[in-house]
Structure 1
Amino acid sequence: MFTSEMIESRQPEVEMIDIEWAALDALVNFCYSGKIRISDVNVPSTLHAACLFQLEEVKEACCEFLKKQSRPSNCVGIREFADSHSCLELIRFADEYILENFEEIIGTEEFYHIPTNQLVQLLSNDKLVGRSEEKVFTAVIQWVEFDLSSRKQLLPQLLEHIRFPRCRPEFLVNTVSKNALVMGDATCRDFVDQAKDDLILRFSTLECSNDKAKHAEVIYVVGGYEERRVERMDPEGANPIWQYVAPLNQLRSNGGVAVVDRFIYAVCGQDWNYDALNSIERYNPATDQWMSDVAPCPTSRFWISVAALEEHLYAIGGCEDLRRQSLNIVERYDVRRNEWTSVAPMGSYRDSLSVSILDGCLYAAGGRKRETALSTVERFDPRVGRWKRVCPMSTPRESHGSAVLHGELYVAGGSKKGSRSMSSAEKYDLRANKWTSVADMNCSRSGLGLAAVNGKLYAIGGHATNSVEVFDPKTNQWKLHSNMNCKHFCAGVAVL
């Protein structure tokens, strides 16, 4: 403006419209000092001014700040603000955030002001997390009713993208079919009638294939760090494909997962504010629903490990807060009584450990204590009620995976202080009380899951990867197997 032939270069005074004085002052200081302070209060005006003056460094800093401040209650507004200032990277981030947190956004003030075109894009996106079609339908009706006079005619355009056959039959009949807005529109009625026909066909097909499906072992990957999505895969299928199922009701970063009575239990973890949780939810694969009907764990914690033995869940170790004071506590959940009790604590304080069941006992392996990776292993026999040290692993490990295959305990991957992710693996022989190395994985993995299915081991995900590889103990070889739809780090793994 001032170094070109524009008229402002010759004027003694230039009036700058729509720029706050404080923002302009901050930008001038930045030009001289290279420093700028960004806060909740000044980020809108600072980003606006930075865009006008084409100060890309400040613009990027403001966008990064807004990413970190994103919450279900403000992400729609952040997306709109980013769009108005052509911040393409922030738009992309906001779009992904909205997709991943759609259920939590429903009912917020900003949800009711989502533009029509953006709502249609959300509903039509296969990556939409929270694809409980019943909740999506309810959300659409609420959005339309918020401004009924101008939005009523948009209902067919929105309902077109709802997958009604995935609803429970009773919801389709008792809620959707009785909704006045739906029944008052011929196109919407057609959607519902088609869904009913699809359900009838699906249930008749399921009856024929039910016996075959009973025996298939399926791997589930549950959540992970800042991740609510859940995926499943039949590893023995002709064409193994990972498919999304219902996401967790709540974010559970660094929580634990185990299976009892064909229900998957997701235990504790961290919420979006990184606070420790004590809540639990369980997944019913028959209905594709997570239920929050489980008594909370007595101790809120994360970086926990969970294992199931008979009709009990064991919540073991972990941390209560970010000060990283590892715990040795063990709490046991009785599925029949819906009650928690404390049992004998471990001999060592551990977080980021693994726990597996071998010969009727719990084996707690490795983990971390005060930033130091551990190689020690201890065994809990519920019949005796105490922990006992056994042979330590050859390598200290934290955030590793463990599973039992053919009566031997395998551990793989993880990391240790000052090192990157590891690819090494080893197995424990109970009778000999000895660890021996097995072949290294093809990829170094920390925060992976390990699952034993049909005589093979599956190493699943980890930091910055969505890949899966499989280990055959007969050949002592790992082979790349498949790729998940998203990257699951420190996720729970379950086999049903």
Structure 2
Amino acid sequence: CILKVGDRSIPCHRLILAACSPYFRELYFSEDGKEADKTEVVLENLDPKILEVIVNYMYSAEIDINDDNVQDILSVANRFQIPSVFTVCVNYLQKKLSKKNCLAIYRLGLMLNCARLAIAARDYIADRFETIVKDEDFLELAPPELFAIIGADALNVEKEEMVFELLMRWIRKDKEKRVKSLEEAFDCIRFRLLPEKYFKEKVEKDDLIKADPELVKKLKVIKDAFAGKLPEKKKGQGGEEGEEGKLPGYLNDERRYGMYAKDMLLMINDTAAVAYDGKENECFLAGMAEQIPRNHVSLISKKNNLYVLGGLFVDEEDKENPLQCYLYQLDSLAAEWIALPPMPSPRCLFAMGESENFIFAVAGKDLQSDESHDTVMCYDTEKMKWTETKKLPLKIHGHCVVSENGLVYCIGGKTDDNKTINKMFAYNHKRSEWKEVASMKTPRSMFGAVIHNGKIIVAGGVNEEGL
């Protein structure tokens, strides 16, 4: 038989098509199994290249799926009821889920009524909620699409305030249409998890909420719940508590997944990253780290992202630039390291700091020339690009860097003549300037430094006297 698509004719066998697709089975065979007298079938609104890919798969069980064609192949497989191709596409999309495409894949799964794909994408979004809500496309979700995400127990969010504020941003994005959905959306917010002060100042005083009499009634019920007075649950048949006996969603006080977060100590070497729970005295594997070189520098950002940079890796195949300084970020949910663009100026004995969405690799030592650096490399975590920023006033290595209130502090270290210093410099990235501030009482290098209760605390290290 011939499948006619536009000006393309694709020859194939009826039995092969019928075996792979209920659509073609019904087209070519009657209910009693008799073969229909059709030698050519014209298919409209179809890319012939996509159909050829699918027909080839029916014969060879091999298919070339990539980011450019997967959605078209999935749609055609869904249209012609070809489950094997559909499953291959779903598997591909699940493996390719990322922060950039998860919303599109989520909506595609819902559009094709593919629960497996939609749930996988929804769970991916819920796991990375605080990051993905910054995407403007999030505000374009339809009401059912949004409510399925923000109503979930699995939402990885530490505070319910963020969920409420996201909902109100979404409403105000298209206020005239979406305000009608506010009453339904109320069941997605767990108001009893909000601080009472926040509820009074932000929820009760919101203009859109105050303007809806039904929502005002619900506010009264929530206020009673804060005071310890909950409405009585209705009983189901036989006196047992049924579905109708549950409290309404807006009175749900069950904590979400992200609200069980703990502070842990991370230990990283070239074998694994291990998280230590000091309260429970337990260790957990946070991720294998076989690709992480030794002598790296690590940084935990204010957004709770873990980055490691370096140490120096010798690429014997690259004769011109054998030294490499790799950058990785830990995906704690997938327990794996994500490779990011390497630093273009390899070095060792440097230190890392941050300001807003920028990471800074400050000074350090060049192994090939054995000279200290005064250069500062800046990595933009949003644009994923390295640039060079304002130089440090001194060439140093073996120093410490801490960050606080948008400033990056560079402390101590050694100069090229191996003299230990006690100087401290503060860097303001918005002004692109370094400024010398209070010095340490004792010069030192190769030490530790942290910020605690607004104070910089240094410990250990070495100097000419030993320390």
- Measured against the shorter chain, the TM-score band is 0.3 to 0.5
How does the TM-score come out when normalised to structure 1?
Answer: 0.45
Structure with larger Rg: 2
Q: Which has the higher contact order (CA 8 A, sep 6+)?
A: 1
Kindly indicate which of the two structures has a greater share of residues assigned to helix: 2
